[in-house]
Structure 1
Amino acid sequence: MVSAPAASDTSAVRILPLLAAAAFATGCGMRLLDPVLPLIAAELRVTVAEVAVLITAFALPYGLCQVILGPLGDRFGKLRVLTIGLTLYGLMMAACALAGAMTPLIALRAATGAAGGAIIPLAMAWIGDNVPYAQRQATLSRFMTGMVMAQLLTGPISGSIGQLFGWRAVFVLVGGVALAAAAAIVFKLGKRLWQTSVAGTAGSGFANYALLLRRQTGRRLLLAAFLDGLLLFGGAFPFIGSYLIQSFHLEPWHAGLVVAGFGLGSLLYTRIARLLIPRLGEAMLALVGGLLVALSLVLLAIASSWQVVALIQAATGLFFFMFHGVLQARATEALPEARATSVSAFAMALFLGQGLGSVCFGALLARGGYGLAFGVAGLLMAALALWCRVAVTAPRPATPAP
């Protein structure tokens, strides 16, 4: 049975800008490597494919630490654990600038990913606790404005700063943004952040993971998240900046601007989600979005100029969130009695897929170039969208009890 939210959505409206700021800091850390991978590779004297392990180094701890971060959020308070994680994330991000070789840089990226895992999943779980399901996807889209702005701004800023001051300056800047966001949350909430809440969830945190896995809808949702991460988060998306630099000979700042076009489409989604959801319904929204993402990847494989890539990027931002936004909303309702645990499980599956995806895409890249890699990703994405329509989005969640 689906439980009703613990509080009215007015509390979510008040704190939503702070959560969006935290998402912005996290999104910057995820995407800052896109235009500077070649710069890091050149300074550390390795190939771009070898530097791609930094994507995995962030994603795997981000995903694996969800095992404990979700239960911690349910036990000690979602916003409290989020704020601590955001602070550690900022410190570790800035420390990456001190790395003089790949080994310490990989270790610091891993620590950053582990701390960053507490941010977006716990924010989504908190929204799930406080916003009824009928309004939840639209609210989540507004929260994800922070992530979208990171998509929009991180590429050009990272590319420009990397070219002017070196890639280390990019890590320092993003670390500072995260620490500022954490300070804003502490200032806004004050003593309320540290007050012990009476809370409780059904069973222990690890027992809740078992409960989620026993549900067919839960298993299918986690598999969809894993494949989403494998094909997109770790597979195709992080390599578009390198594709532009190596195939079309763009400067890092220029490639960053093109990559940022993804954010334009994403921003459009956050503005029109409340219109699309009632018109199309969740199932059709995810199907159409997923198939259009697949088409975009195939078109990337045969793009003839960077201008074509720029147009594709902008459209892909909208298509991606049409698909991914539905999965996010379902994650907040997969285990209502322990939302932090269920959303963390979703994030764990997503980023475990991302970690494997960068390795698989790198292998395809080494074997057949960008055309083969993007083409295969597009075909597999089409299959994922069709499977999700049948297995994931077909059942509708129960209506919350009054």
Structure 2
Amino acid sequence: MNPPVWLMATAAFTVGCGMRMIEPLLPMMARDFGVGLGGVAPLIGGFALAYGIGQFAIGPMGDRFGKIRVVAISLALYAGTLIGAGLAEGLSTLLLFRVLMGLASAAVVPLFMAHIGDSVPYGQRQAVLGKFLNGMVLSQLLAGPLSGVAGEYAGWRWAFLGLGIVAVLITGFFILRLGAPLWRAPVEGGGGGGLSGFVRLLRKKPGRRLMIGTALDGLLMFGGAFPFLASLLIERFGLSAAEAGLVVASFGLGSLAYTQSAGRLLARLGERGMVLVGGLGVAAALLVFALSPWWQAVAVAQAFVGLLFFMLHGSLQARATEALPEARGTAVAAFAMALFLGQSIGSVIFGTMIVWVGFTASMLVASAGLVGLTLWLRGVVLR
């Protein structure tokens, strides 16, 4: 029972679209429900919070009942929540479906990564994970534009319904492709042991260091520097929201380059070299964000950030699949939780810093912090 990488990437694409599709739809949803943007903002946070909390359950469940089996059920539930969101009559009902959407989708990417860890030797794992990430990268590039076009011409409800129909088709194909073994295969009964698996992971010094490094990764980049780049471009250079969005979206170009070259980069640089080049490269890009007087330089740097970020982050992902071999689902779920926690804290810290000291100082702090994190990861965590 081993789905091909392209099928796993396609399923991950639908989940990535569900994460990012709502951003261009917020203004029209606010108009339809008669509220301000603040009234519909919980539709973003509700999904993210549910996705993070869901990791507590899905890791042990995947180790106990079978990772691919749990993913198949989760995909079906996810498709149902998308259709339910498209049919929701009130804002509170829509929020409920968004929360359920976050819970349902929480299993897909972590358990696929854990499955790759089970079935691919460690030396080849980062390259296979890179191919799998194609789905998430393409969703970053396409989710916003596709949902925006659907919302503009057919209404925001059809953005949800359209993705829901795609998710139903992918789920059906996924189940048919795997066939009877999906349900007849014996329960794995792995050593996850429920929440005790998280405890065992944190009792190990390498496990604690990996989770700390992952949380700091999320704090400095996904929660710290990256979310505020569009605001910097608008405020400093006077770009429109659409122009700033295009610059930010160029992250996906670098990410796509990583997914196509991860194996060759790993063979040339090794894991610790990937982390060093990736981390210091992103730190240098943050210096450009902080100090450049030209938005074009920021755009070029951002295009490279996608590649450099995944050189660092992909190495941590690969290590997460090996952090608790007897309960990989639990280990990868813990990795996702650590990243989510760091992202949540980082957005508060750097959002406050930007208000008090401005973009330049905040980006410089993120750059310096990333240099320190990179050296620590290379010298201690990946030793």
TM-score range, shorter-chain basis?
Answer: 0.7 to 0.9
Residue 381 (structure 1) aligns with: 370
Distance 1:112 1:267, change over 3 A: same
Could you tell me which amino acid in structure 2 is paired with residue 328 of structure 1?
A: Q
Identity %: 50
Aligned to 2:310: 321
Check if 1:250 corresponds to 2:277. Answer: no
**Is residue 2:65 matched to residue 1:76?**
yes
1:276 matches 2:265: yes
State the AA in 1 paired with 2:74: G
Q: Could you list the per-position Cα deviations for residues 26-49 of structure 1 after superposition, in whole angstroms to 9, with x for gaps in the alignment?
A: 22223334555666677765467x
- Report the alpha carbon displacement of residue 18 of structure 1 after superposing the two structures with TM: 1.0
Q: Provide structure 1 residue ranges, at least 5 long, that are not aligned to the other structure.
A: 1-10, 395-402
Question: Partner residue of 2:204?
Answer: 215
Q: Aligned in 2, Cα 1:53/1:376: closer, same or farther, shift over 3 Å?
A: farther
From 35, 47, 56, give the equivalent of 1:67. 56
User: Partner residue of 2:168?
Assistant: 179
Could you say what secondary structure the match of 2:250 adopts?
A: helix
CA distance in 2, matches of 1:377, 1:363: 13
| Partner Cα distance (1:121, 1:299) in 2 | 33
Q: Which runs of 5+ in 2 are unaligned?
A: none
| Further displaced range: 336-345 or 95-104 | 95-104
Give 2:117's aligned residue. Answer: 128
Deviation at 1:295, TM superposition (A): 2.3
**In structure 2, C-alpha distance between the alignment counterparts of 1:171 and 1:37, rounded to whole Å:** 13
User: For the residues of structure 1 that align with 2:24 and 2:7, how far apart are their CA atoms?
Assistant: 27
Deviations 1:90-127 (Å, cap 9, x if unpaired)? 33244445668775555443322211110000001111
Which of 179, 202, 217 is the aligned partner of 1:228? 217
What do residues 145-190 of structure 1 show as CA deviations (whole Å, max 9, x unaligned)? 1111112222433444455555554444433433332222112112
Matched letter for residue 223 of structure 1: I
One-letter identity of the residue aligned with 2:256: L
Match of 1:267 in 2: 256
Q: In the aligned structure 2, how far is the partner of 1:366 from the partner of 1:174?
A: 37
* Distance of 1:45 and 1:141 partners within structure 2: 41
- Judging changes above 3 Å, is the alpha-carbon distance between structure 1 residues 326 and 58 closer, same or farther for their aligned structure 2 residues? same
| Farther off after superposition, 328-337 or 372-381 | 372-381
Structural mapping, 1:194-205, within 5 Å: 194-202=183-191, 204-205=193-194
1:151 to 140, 143, 149: 140
CA distance in 2, matches of 1:241, 1:159: 18
TM-score scaled by structure 2? 0.87
Q: What SS does the aligned partner of 1:205 have?
A: coil
Partner of 1:362: 351
| Distance 1:162-1:296 versus aligned 2 partners, 3 A rule | farther
| Counterpart contact for 2:192–2:330, Cα < 8 Å | no
- Alignment partner, residue 334 of structure 1: 323
Contact 1:62-1:113 within 8 A present in 2 as well: yes
Residue 116 and residue 326 in structure 1: after superposition, are their counterparts in 2 closer, same or farther (change >3 A)?
Answer: same
Say if 1:191 and 1:148 are closer, same or farther in 2 by CA, change over 3 A.
same
Amino acid at match of 1:386: L
Partners of 1:124 and 1:388 in 2: CA distance: 21
Q: Which residue of 2 aligns with 1:16?
A: 5
The 1:119–1:355 alpha-carbon spacing in structure 2 relative to 1, beyond 3 Å, is same
- Asked whether the equivalents of residues 201 and 337 of structure 1 are also in contact (C-alpha less than 8 Å), the reply is yes
Residue 75 of structure 1 and its aligned partner are, at CA, apart by: 1.1
Q: Alignment RMSD, CA only?
A: 3.0
| Residues 62 and 116 in structure 1, CA contact (< 8 A), matched pair in contact too | yes
Q: Which moves more between the two structures, 71-80 or 227-236?
A: 227-236
Q: Distance in 2 between matches of 1:258 and 1:161?
A: 22
Give the Cα–Cα distance (whole angstroms) in 2 for the partners of residues 101 and 40 of structure 1: 11
